[in-house]
Amino acid sequence: MKFEIYQSEGGKFYFRLKASNGQVILSSQGYAAKASAISGAESVAKNAASRNNFEVKTAADGSPFFNLLSAANKQVIGTSQMYSSSAAMEGGIDSVMRTAPEAQIVDLTLEK
């Protein structure tokens, strides 16, 4: 698993947590500075260890998803993909908890 730091065409920086199969498990909001996106990925790695930092949600279409919250201020630091079932979403939470603390950060902006 790895965090990818990337920049949109609009100039904002983001991170995404990708599973070993390439599927995006967690995505960030947009940040004005690359350093903030890197800090966000580091915050995910730190906060993912506790199940109490995960907020289970349901989209308008009924799809389950989750947010990872900062333990300090309960702000959203990452949002999952939409899942087809609650069981699949729980598997996503387990995967983030297990692997995010050790995930490497890869800066894709350096490859441009």
The predicted-structure confidence for 52-74, as pLDDT tens digits, reads as follows 999 999 999 999 999 999 988 99
Residues in the chain: 112
Per-residue pLDDT, averaged over 67-92, amounts to 94
Residue spans of the domains in the chain: they are 2-111
Which pLDDT score, from 0 to 100, does residue 111 have?
62
Fold of the domain spanning 2-111: PH-domain like (2.30.29)
* Whole-number average pLDDT of the chain: 93
* Nearest alpha-carbon partner for 54 in 86, 84, 32, 31: 86
What is the model's pTM? Answer: 0.88
